[in-house]
A = this chain, B = another copy of it.
């Protein structure tokens, strides 16, 4: 039974339509360029309703980007298994998430993180505290090398996401997931557990 006190949430269907439209708009145009009006038009509602439900553009963005995927659910499967396969498993999971509908939120974040300092900070903190740190904590590596290894993994994975979903450079954009797993996996593996200097 729904609670009767507090602020009423409004028509759930309308709210969800706005949210879906916002996710698409932010993914396609980034935070700054996406407009409330365009979101409202796509959701076929009045622009004022967007404010009514979400208050401000920032809050709408946060709601739209609110991770449909939680690293805490995905990472255990990546971390389980042999140490030498973690690179490929990480890339496989990474590509699958970004290729899925949930990936739109990632594209929105990524597109926005470039040209907007506060979204860049969101990405930085999400990467370091939610993803990289969790992975590296499970690997028995020299703590002194930990930040560098994490950063290197980030360069490769974010670079992959940017090329595949933002710049859309071929043949990366249309590559089969397993092709990327087989080629990029070893790179990530080396960054995580390999020798960093020859």
Contact = CB atoms under 8 A, between A and B. Distances in A.
A55 to B, nearest CB: 23
Contacts of A196: 182-183
Most chain B CB within 10 A, of A155, A182, A198, is at A155
A101 interface: no
A114 to B, nearest CB: 4
Contacts of A179: 148
Q: Counting chain B CB atoms within 10 Å of each CB, which of A112, A160, A171, A183 scores highest?
A: A183
A32 B30 CA distance: 11
Contacts of A154: 159, 163, 169, 172
Interface string A170-198: 11100100010011101100110000111
A79 interface: no
A115 B113 contact: no
Given A187-B190, A190-B186, A151 B167 contact: no
A128 interface: yes
Counting contact residues on chain A (CB < 8 A from B), the size range is 35 or more
A33 interface: yes
A147 interface: yes
B148 A115 contact: no
Given A115-B32, A196-B182, A162 B158 contact: yes
Contacts of A164: 155
A132 to B, nearest CB: 9
Interface of A: 29-30, 32-33, 110-116, 120, 123-124, 127-128, 147-148, 151-152, 154-160, 162-164, 166-172, 175, 179, 182-184, 186-187, 190-191, 196-198
